[in-house]
Copies of this chain bind each other. A is one copy, B any other.
Amino acid sequence: MQQFSIGELSLHAGVKVPTIRYYEQIGLLEAPLRTQGNQRRYGRAQLERLRFIAHARAMGFAMDSLRSLLRIAGHRQGPCADVDALARAHLAEVDDRIASLTRLRGELVAMLSGGRHGTVGECRIVEVLSDHEQCASAH
């Protein structure tokens, strides 16, 4: 069973060492085993969890969403009603994000293909991102 020092974990997960300690401090990551000399040693599972956190954060999920996603992910054994509701809420959030991003994507593509040389149509990136009506969830 593989063991990682905090530096190795940092490398493998792409998360800075102080950030790992911070996550431990706020309870996002469980406190790992320690060596005789008080240094942290992590296993595979904790690496996965940290990657999960890093990736979710990079995608813009709030810390709260993250905690509940982790809760969902923890319930691999058949969701209770509680977890089910969480999953539903996240599905809605995810759908909104995908819709927004897809529209933005369309605009970027149009910009790149359409307006390349001199003459241009309207760039609607601003409208795409500023039109709040098209955004199902409040924020």
A interface with B by C-beta (< 8 Å): 13-14, 48-49, 51-52, 54-56, 58-61, 69, 72-73, 75-79, 84, 87-88, 90-91, 94-95, 97-98, 100-102, 104-105, 108-109, 111-112, 115-120, 122-123, 125-127, 129-132, 135, 138-139
Nearest-neighbor residue (CB-CB) of A83 within chain B? B111
Q: A59-B60, A98-B105, A105-B98 are in contact. Are A91 and B76 (CB under 8 A)?
A: no
Q: Distance (Å) between the CB of A49 and the closest chain B CB?
A: 7
Q: With the chains together, A115 CA to B79 CA distance in Å?
A: 7
Q: How far is the CA of A15 from the CA of B6 in the complex (A)?
A: 39
Cβ-neighbour of A101 out of B69, B101, B115, B117 (below 8 A):
B101
